[in-house]
Chains A and B, each alone.
Chain A
Amino acid sequence: MLETFFNGEVLLRAWPLLWEGLLLTLQLGALSIVLGWLGGLALALLGLYGPAPLRILVRAYVDVFRALPVLVLLILVYYALPFVGLSLSAFASATLALAAVSSAYTSEIVRAGIEAVPEGQSEAGRVLGLSFPQILRLIVLPQAFRLVIPPLTGNSINVLKDTALASVVAMPDLLKQATQAQALEANPTPLIAAAGLYLLILLPLVAMVRRLERRLGRPS
């Protein structure tokens, strides 16, 4: 039992593969998360303050990408786009799919955050003679960000977990490297190790969300 599932020798041999996979998973996760934030912020602002046709487009985008399973989107981007002449690498496809979905969720979170800032705050800004961008930058967004940090971190954790889906498009991420090592060694230890590594990264983040929620969620 121990020999099969927690084999130290196998783990030692598989370690370089797992390490490479871990780095790639972190790169993919970090890039998708940051792009998701930027895209989500832009979408939220356009959806709230943009011209009417753009607001409708944003609404449609947010709904479609929240409804579409990430794996389905990833397979479409990777396998279907080449037929219309756009052949993205596995890394680019995965980043695009993850960021597209994450930006839809982020936009909803940010929108809720902005709407939670009382209208009186912007009015006060206008009375003081501040321009609209100034009101946004100095008054609304700083307060909104405080509110959205916990749900945004929670969403980022989901993005990081979803990077494992990239293993289906031949991308050597942590899960893919673990399944390869598992097949090469004919032993499941690398899979167990990969699960441990995911936990090692994600458990502190989950704990952080809990702390943030307790600290920031409380009305000041």
Chain B
Amino acid sequence: MEGTRHWRNVVVLWLIASLIMTPIVIFVFGPGLPPGNGSVEASGQVTDNTVLLATATPVALAVLVYLAYVCWAFRERTPEVILDGPAIRGNSSVQFWWLVVTTTLVLFLAGYGTVRLLADGAGGGQGPNPIAVPSAPGGGKPLVVQVIAQQWQFNYRFPGYGGVETNGIELPENTLVQFNVTSLDVIHSFWAYELGVKADANPGVNNVAYVTTKGPLLFHVRCAELCGVWHGYMFNQGLVVPKTQFAAWIARQEQLYAPATKTLPPYSKTYFPQPLRRGG
């Protein structure tokens, strides 16, 4: 029967395309997916992105191969005569299996995403009461870094080091870092791309995100939420450095900013936002 032959052709073409493309996606594209291997969470996101792309590849190929095939095989060969195709109004077994396959895929993706999310928080902002806290390498407590966003810069405050507030950021390697992200004015978003961290900075809210650093790294911090005129200029860089170097750096900062630290408000999860002024 003609329909069966076409079915077989589509399935064979799809199988060939999927068998070629899926390994390419996993092994060639996969390692290049963002955000790289800068931290444990970032590596986890690369894995997630690879799984999603590998799952999506056969699905996308099924639609594309099918579309290309039907456009070629079922094109009107005698356009001057109006002829109708067969009056097929559906096929309950195709519909049933489509439903089964897509539901399975969707539930798999949602389940996988949930497991990955709850394992270590995936570097995302979890609000004031985080539910997914990764364990620190070698035990112990995380290094707390407060990220204070304001128009249009990020400042960093280290409550474990006398509450010193700095303009730049350096982090020790192989350490669990807890970012407490907040804002003084409007909504910003703290995006440390290479670390795989993104957490919105809301005025009056402490948004917590965790990241476990790996080896030395230069990372970019950008604001990922439109925050006014100079949003595009709200970026800087940070470093992940060996632990001894971090100790030296933070000691130097404490010394350097000692006069300023005295005048700062005491460390707090959030600060009373400044009155809003027009003209932003």
A, B: real partners:
no
Q: Which residues of B does A touch, CB under 8 Å?
A: none
